[in-house]
Amino acid sequence: MRRVLIATSNPGKLRDFAGAAQVHGIEIAGIPNFESLPTPVEDGKTFEENARKKAEEYSLAAAEEIVVADDSGLEVDALHGAPGVHSARYAADEPHLADANTDDEANNARVLRELAQVSPEKRTGRFVCVLAAARNGKTLAIFRGTAEGIILDAPRGSNGFGYDPLFYFPQIHKTFAELSPEEKSQYSHRGAALRQFLDWHEKQFPR
């Protein structure tokens, strides 16, 4: 089975990737000794800048392997696109200066506070995921997926991570936290970006 390494220690992300890649005959694995590697500074102003930086730097630790890194987050229209690239650190006093992720519940709580006076029809937003595939320190390709939804006023579901419990997907009348990994890979931003990557991988490296 062909293998692709994912630059993350987040079990939720690894689950998301593995669920979509299985049907393509691709094994998803984490980078060996990932926790001991230096962490790239995610100082890009866009998801693509951060994804490229992570993929290129981490691919240097896995010679000749294809390494995929993602940068993803929630864009809320009523918050002018926030939390955006700061989604994982949004609960910090100054998210753009924070050097570590903040707790999912705290991040969700801040979004709920900031949307407290916003009417339901204006609580629109989207999840964005940009994947970068790199090998030996060079980006090979970039893929972008989005999912449009509505931000609820209270969390629902226990399967997801990040903002999944607040993100209601009207198409199926569920939040992302109410979906199985297989369902989520079908509808999510990360699933959309990953399918693009898998199609590209299939053409570049046929079985």
Please tell me which residue, 41 or 75, carries the higher pLDDT value: 75
Pick the CATH number of 2-204 from 3.40.50.10490, 3.90.950.10, 1.10.730.10, 2.120.10.30: 3.90.950.10
* pLDDT above 90 (res 96): no
Per-residue confidence (pLDDT) for residue 1, from 0 to 100: 63
Q: Once rounded to an integer, what is the mean pLDDT over residues 48-66?
A: 95
Structure tokens at 68: 């995929």
Catalytic residue ranges: 71
Mean pLDDT, range 82-108, rounded to an integer? 90
Report the candidate in 5, 63, 51 with the shortest Cα–Cα distance to residue 30. Answer: 5
Minimum mean pLDDT range among 68-77, 96-105, 144-153, 186-195: 96-105
Ramachandran category for residue 25: left, alpha or beta (phi over 0 → left; psi -120 to 50 → alpha) = left
Cβ partners under 8 Å of residue 97, min gap 6: none
pTM of this prediction?
0.89
**Lowest mean pLDDT: which of 8-17, 108-117, 131-140, 178-187?**
8-17
Domain boundary assignment for the chain: 2-204
**What integer is the mean pLDDT of 59-80?**
95
Give me the pLDDT at residue 154, please: 96
Specify the higher pLDDT residue, 98 or 150: 150
Pick from 22, 141, 1, 125: which is nearest to 70 by CA?
Answer: 141
DSSP the chain: -EEEEE----HHHHHHHHHHHGGGTEEEEEPTTGGGSPPPP---SSHHHHHHHHHHHHHTTSTTS-EEEEEEEEEEGGGTT-BGGGGGGTTSSSTTT-SSPPPHHHHHHHHHHHTTTS-GGG-EEEEEEEEEEEETTEEEEEEEEEEEEEE-SS---SS--TTGGGEEETTTTEEGGGS-HHHHHHHSHHHHHHHHHHHHHHHHS--
